[in-house]
Amino acid sequence: MNKFERFSLIAVFPFLLLSGCAQNQTSAQRHANHFIMATAEDSSGPNFRLNTADSARMTTPFFEQFWQQGKKDRDAGLAKKDIAQRMTYFQSVEFTNEVRGKSRFAGSDYNQDSSISPLWRREMSNAVIETYMDGYNGIK
């Protein structure tokens, strides 16, 4: 092995190693994971551990609908004013109250009647907005 081949091997190896670690998740998956990880501590008590992987997997279709809506709005040529109104709605209390629904624990569904924490509300709004904008901007 000559000096050039050794140098080439050393130079290329880190790129190959790092490219193997590259994420190939969709926007909805990335934002679902981020939302679940950001709110995991907020949604659990001392005797409860949130299964973040399953929660993120089950939340992904919810975020996917916002990505699709962003794509649809871009294709329809929605004006920036209308997009700003949509963002304002996504940050509203009305929106986060509509998002609440049921939670699943030990095979049973439960209504979420408790109040929403400010952290959950903020993270949900941010994740929905970012997913919507990814769809609007064509970011997969």
pLDDT of the residue at 125:
94
Q: Tell me whether residue 71 is exposed, middle or buried, using C-beta atoms within 10 angstroms of its C-beta: 0 to 12, 13 to 18, 19 or more.
A: middle
pLDDT of the residue at 21:
58
Distance CA 71, CA 13 (A): 38
- Residue pLDDT, tens place only, 45-76: 677 777 888 989 999 999 999 999 999 999 99
Distance CA 28, CA 68 (A): 10
Q: What sign has the CA pseudo-torsion 45, 50, 52, 56?
A: negative
